[in-house]
Amino acid sequence: MTTILARRSEEARSKGTALIRQADRLLGESWNEKMWADGGPIDPSPTIDQAINGGFPRLEIECARCKTRRDVDLATLPHPSTTFVHDLASRLRCSRCAKAGRRSPATLLQLAQRPSHASPEA
């Protein structure tokens, strides 16, 4: 009997993990749709963990000053994984403008599944 219960527990856990991954993917897709429609940092947004778990490990940004676009790897950010993606707008800076002594903020564009730009990260 314990073997049957243990197997059922493992099956339920596996199904639950798949459902959470699907929910996180839908949350990322929904947030991207809102960003495309409204064009601004939409609150609420997925957390960094939810974005990564949903298959969106990268964030596309654009410098508000020089309009340089970059991809940021969410897993490498020095922020807690529970940070909401929209909160990153005020924390990310353009590395290109920083070299010129400016601290231009980044504009969030969308969550991405893979890098779309070859330039270095902000």
Mean pLDDT computed over 95-118: 78
The pLDDT tens digits for 18-65 are 999 999 999 999 999 999 887 766 788 999 999 999 999 999 999 888
Residue 76 has pLDDT above 90, yes or no: yes
The token pair at 67 is 């309009």
List, for residues 86-101, the tens digit of each pLDDT value. Answer: 998 888 888 778 777 7
Show the tokens assigned to 79.
């922020």
User: What pLDDT is stored for residue 14 in this prediction?
Assistant: 92
Given a contact cutoff of 8 angstroms between Cβ atoms, the answer to whether 89 and 59 are in contact is: no
Question: Mean pLDDT over residues 73-84, rounded?
Answer: 92
Distance between CA atoms of residues 22 and 56, nearest Å: 12
Cross-strand pairs, 5: none
